[in-house]
Structure 1
């Protein structure tokens, strides 16, 4: 067990140091027509034919960790691996570009038994949503990265357009969110296992907490009064921990020989600067949490520049809030606040800008632009438990109609419609032709 370190009032990790190097101007990017794609394509012959018939030339294909290595480390399910490779290759050979989602959000059962696999919040509760600790646990990180290396070797990786990386049960960046301990508690902080608190079994290169034993909301720590600056330092450590998890995955992909872009799915708008001020003034005791982003550790204002400066090779953020419920609300304001503007990268962090009224896409895109990161996007999909859609979202037909304008207006490199299965389902009321008409109309 490592000796516990004294508190530091400034995070002094490589990520923090890199932030100081990212203050120069972001180079201008040419505006291009987005590539139009689909989420969760099967790449079966019938879907390939249907997509080619209407000119859809980009898809995301989901792999599944629990199917690839179902029974133990190194025990590859050869039949599944061959089928996945065959389907991805079939799409590529048909001229359809492919981004692979590795499905690390679907860990095999044996991974859940590894040391430190269970995420632990400040009350000693575990996540009940299936999440495992890919951020702090060395054992889980090692198993995950072994899987990623095998996946790269088993796919025509040099031909791919991208591979996604994430830390959550949705395959996105983030810790579990409100009520993911299953008991109605709305703000768990998932950094109270032995690894982040004591350094025991901690993933290499990932720092342990700067305040061992301190729990958000507590007014004292080791006999000292906790200040807002100390609370903010703790939060930055927590939120940047996610980037170490992402970096570990990317490093594994690069070590396996994958040199193409990595995509980082990023939900919502994250914590707003004014909300973080409110939160740390309350010592992270519950105030300022607009939408659950605090406990999830999402602070794109800080994370996107750190991501740009610390992850090897090309990085693309995937903004998963195109025409989500916040867009519906934002476009109903006077004036509307849903559309991206060229000045957003600067004004989004200026005092007094009403970014709380902006759509998730608009604010998150502004942070990507500030960091000089390219971006793609996807819509939430139909309102259902397994998607990001809610009762307040546009119906899927309206998402299809509106999303192309959002993608163009926010200068996205590509847009992925969720989901291919929706377009295959007669009961959905939407077809590939509807999608193409929305793009070309």
Structure 2
């Protein structure tokens, strides 16, 4: 059954046209909600913060056994921010599974070579045991926190807390084309999560030209990939369903990295039977196909907001340097982004992904990758954190984001970063500094 749509006007987030007059709400990632940070944030006009929960701290030893000291501290910090008038999104922290969850049936992700990811990612997509444990944890978050006062919960499937499977070389041995759907749950249905279909081609490995004595066609490869990438949407829906069943009726943020596979690249990839051709940035193995996935979210999962995590990432630097520049969203992007004649390969990640959210009628917020050396999405080609602070507000406004979260509060608290909250405020207001 599809979820009833939660009104998106709730708590101030709503779908916006390409150049809406409304300004984004300005926030920070990973807030401590300490008294000093609350005061500092309010002093410069920060109005919304993300507070991260940690599954492994919440239920560290066994199912159902809460760490009451941690739960109390988390609740107190969230409540302190709310009572001070700050809006709060809670990151559920499912990317930090306790050790006992790692031991559950089907918890290990497996690629087509039998390898496991070296990132610590577990199978929150196909494993019923993991998904059930995750649902119990999400229920506890709703029960233990002032959920009705929150601006949102933030959910994902990856080790980074975003939507997606592990990425290129996450098997740790230099192999760049892992597909993470080769456990017994996905292949045979043994212990598969409720409502999640098994592979349409059991045993087939991308790149193979035959399956069960039949010649594999491009259409069959595309159908397999659609199953693979939509499995992520089943997992997201499972998390949203768990929150709703616990009584939470607010918004749910879906952190969405990169731009996803481009339509022309997917055609190249499936014509080559997913042998690695057309994989521009690892989106294929990660299962990221926003052209398809965002409409699936918009049509089947109510009350979701896509959180575009590529604001002023390395692709923005490249797109900004193009002639003409290709980094800024424009009013026609939603209509032209899937036209084969549109050179979307030169667009920034944010511009293309924002267009897909607009096509799907989904509201969007965003965040920058953070310091390049922090391994949170930045690369050696990214802007420095100071440059991200300068550029991101213009991207947030130009792409009509309902909110922007600067990564991270701790950077602004660290004197060695050379950045302050006033620098952020100056960037938002356009003041020099």
TM range (shorter): over 0.9
Match of 1:374 in 2: 363
- How far off its partner does 1:46 sit? 1.1
State the alpha-carbon separation in 2 of the partners of residues 123 and 397 from structure 1: 42
State the alpha-carbon separation in 2 of the partners of residues 31 and 172 from structure 1: 29
- How far off its partner does 1:27 sit? 8.8
State the alpha-carbon separation in 2 of the partners of residues 253 and 132 from structure 1: 20
Local SS of the residue matching 2:372:
coil
State the alpha-carbon separation in 2 of the partners of residues 344 and 57 from structure 1: 29
Match of 1:196 in 2: 186
Which of these residues, 291, 294, 319, is aligned with residue 301 of structure 1?
Answer: 291
State the alpha-carbon separation in 2 of the partners of residues 27 and 389 from structure 1: 27
- How far off its partner does 1:49 sit? 1.2
TM-score with structure 2 setting the length = 0.95
Deviates more, 1:173-182 or 1:49-58: 49-58
Which of these residues, 245, 255, 271, is aligned with residue 255 of structure 1?
Answer: 245
Which of these residues, 355, 366, 381, is aligned with residue 392 of structure 1?
Answer: 381
What pairs with 1:58-137 in structure 2 (closer than 5 Å)? 58-137=48-127
Across the two proteins, how many residue pairs are aligned to each other? 417
Match of 2:396 in 1: 407
Structure 2 residue runs of 5 or longer lacking an equivalent are 3-14
Which of these residues, 315, 325, 341, is aligned with residue 352 of structure 1?
Answer: 341
State the alpha-carbon separation in 1 of the partners of residues 415 and 386 from structure 2: 13
Match of 1:364 in 2: 353
Determine if the alignment matches structure 1 residue 226 to structure 2 residue 216: yes
- How far off its partner does 1:386 sit? 3.0
- How far off its partner does 1:31 sit? 3.7
How big is each residue's C-alpha offset from its partner over 1:162-213, in whole Å with a ceiling of 9 and x where there is no partner? 1001000010000000111111100100000000000000000000000000
How big is each residue's C-alpha offset from its partner over 1:313-332, in whole Å with a ceiling of 9 and x where there is no partner? x1100000000000000010
What pairs with 1:150-169 in structure 2 (closer than 5 Å)? 150-169=140-159
Which of these residues, 279, 282, 290, is aligned with residue 280 of structure 2?
Answer: 290
C-alpha RMSD over aligned residues:
1.2
Deviates more, 1:385-394 or 1:185-194: 385-394
Structure 1 residue runs of 5 or longer lacking an equivalent are 1-13, 16-25
Determine if the alignment matches structure 1 residue 187 to structure 2 residue 177: yes
Match of 1:329 in 2: 318
Local SS of the residue matching 1:252:
helix
Local SS of the residue matching 1:60:
strand
Match of 1:20 in 2: none
Q: Mark the CA change 1:382 to 1:424 in structure 2 (over 3 Å): closer, same or farther.
A: same
State the alpha-carbon separation in 2 of the partners of residues 215 and 237 from structure 1: 14
Large movers: runs of 4+ above 4 Å? 26-30
CA contact (8 A) 2:257 2:310 kept: yes
Match of 2:139 in 1: 149
State the alpha-carbon separation in 2 of the partners of residues 263 and 61 from structure 1: 13
